[in-house]
Amino acid sequence: MSATDYVLRAEALGKKYCKEFRRGVTYLGFDLLRSAIGLGAKASLREKEFWALSNLSFEIRAGECLGVIGANGAGKSTLLKILAGIVEPTQGRVEIRGRSAALIELGAGFHPDLTGRENIYLGGGVLGLKRHEIASRFDEIVAFADLGTFIDSPVRFYSTGMYMRLGFAVAAHCNPNLLLIDEVLAVGDSAFFVKCLNRLSVLKGQGTAIVAVSHDEIAMRRVCNKCLLLKNGNVECLATPHEAYQRYQAIAQTTPISSLNESGDGLIRVARVEAPESAVTGDPLEVLVHYEVPKGSIEGAHFELNAFNAQEELVAIFGTLSLGKRLPTLQGRGLLRIGFPSVHLTPGAYRLAGGFVAADGLGIHNWSASLSRLVVSSPLPLQGKCWQPAEFKIEGSPC
For the stretch 251-285, pLDDT in tens is: 765 554 333 333 333 468 888 888 888 899 999 99
Q: Which helix (H) or strand (E) holds 194?
A: helix 190-205
Domain ranges, ordered by start, for the chain: 6-252, 269-377
199/41 Cα distance (integer angstroms):
41
Q: Is-same-fold flag (6-252; 269-377)?
A: no
Q: pLDDT value at position 315?
A: 87
Q: Which fold has domain 269-377?
A: Coagulation Factor XIII; Chain A, domain 1 (2.70.50)
DSSP letter assigned to residue 345: B
Q: Residue 327 — left, alpha, or beta (φ > 0 → left; ψ -120 to 50 → alpha)?
A: beta
Question: Phi and psi for 195 in degrees, rounded to 5?
Answer: -60, -40
Q: How far is CA 6 from the centre of its chain?
A: 25
Q: Which helix (H) or strand (E) holds 209?
A: strand 209-213
For the stretch 96-147, pLDDT in tens is: 998 888 877 655 668 889 999 999 999 888 877 889 989 999 999 999 888 8
CATH placement of domain 6-252: 3.40.50.300
pLDDT-derived band of residue 192, with 50, 70 and 90 as boundaries? confident
Instruction: List the helix and strand counts (H, then E) for the chain.
Output: 9, 19
Question: Phi and psi for 270 in degrees, rounded to 5?
Answer: -95, 110
Mean pLDDT of all residues in 370-380: 84
Query: What is the average pLDDT value for the chain, to the nearest integer?
Result: 81
Determine the Cα angle at 378 with ends 374 and 379, to 5°: 155
Residue predicted with more confidence, 364 or 239: 239
pLDDT-derived band of residue 79, with 50, 70 and 90 as boundaries? very high
22/27 Cα distance (integer angstroms):
9
70/237 Cα distance (integer angstroms):
11
- pLDDT at residue 160 tops 80: no
Mean pLDDT of all residues in 79-105: 87
- pLDDT at residue 8 tops 90: yes
pLDDT-derived band of residue 187, with 50, 70 and 90 as boundaries? low
- pLDDT at residue 29 tops 50: no
